[in-house]
A = this chain, B = another copy of it.
Amino acid sequence: LCSKRWGRDRDMELAELIAAGDRRAIARGISLVESQAPAARELLAVLFPRAGRAHIVGITGAPGVGKSTLVNALAQEYRRRGARVGIIAVDPSSPFSGGAILGDRIRMRDLAGDPGVFVRSMASRGCLGGLARATADAIPVVEAAGFETILVETVGAGQAEVEIAQAAHTVVVVLSPGMGDDIQAINAGLLEIADILVVNKSDQDGADQAAAVLEAMLNLAPPRVGPSGDAWKPPVLKVIATQSVGIAPLAQALEEHAAHLERSGQGRQNEQARAARELHQALREALWERFLAQARNALEATVQRVRDRQIDPYTAAEQLLRDAER
């Protein structure tokens, strides 16, 4: 189903339907970019220039901290403020995506039937790099449909959330006091990518302590100053997502961070880095595909020689490229 081919006309038609906010067209567009079929590139070529205006918010944290409930409450807050909200729930940890499906159920209860909210889950299907790319490609589809805020929810576990966070303008890292003493175990990488820290379930024991530890850790970090000198210190916000307590201040902090990105020039610098990353990635893939199209047989014969240790991989690569250039 996903790898179905679309003609150029059908891309245009699909793109028009997406731009008009047609929900089935948006879903079909995301399935198409997920498939990474050739037609997906044609669709993105049409949608990409129409995208780039939404505020992309990445929301990450360990399993069990209440990310889905928080995203749900935040989406409702944005709706009250009149913004249309897209939600992309990414589960890199499980090929079965049990978490994402559970999250959807919670959301459906409160958000179902609201045309101003679009929800989509993406599961890993075992390929991590593919998921990050599919997420990055799904964002312009939802943006082109006119959603002003896009919440990208992902489980915080290693490299995956860092890659997906790179696609976001603002990263919210969610913790809960239930993690107890382990709050120090928040790794430096996760703290580095956080623009806003949320202690959810803050009615539970240890919430104040957790927030204090995070504040202390942030005070040790070097200040973040944008190109124009405007600084940002990640705030630590206490929230009870199940009761929508602290959600309006979170939406406020998100707005302030967006304003900081604009004011400081940091946003433009991030866009530049993101464009470079996406272009480099596309180039690496295209270079590889072209090489394979030209030299697949020679490559297979050389793999045997490396396996039999007649030649090392680096020398073999140089030889193959020299032969291909002849």
Contacts and interface: CB of A to CB of B under 8 A. Distances in A.
Nearest to A124: B189
Number of copies: 2
Nearest to A158: B158
A183 interface: no
Contacts of A60: none
Interface string A290-325: 110000000100111011011111111110110000
A216 interface: no
A324 to B, nearest CB: 10
A281 B317 CA distance: 9
A265 B304 CA distance: 15
A119 interface: no
Interface of A: 41, 44-45, 48-49, 51-52, 93-95, 128, 140, 157-160, 187-188, 268, 271-272, 274-276, 278-288, 290-291, 299, 302-304, 306-307, 309-318, 320-321
Q: Which 9 A-B pairs have the closest CB atoms?
A: A158-B158, A48-B312, A282-B317, A275-B307, A275-B306, A278-B313, A282-B313, A287-B287, A41-B314
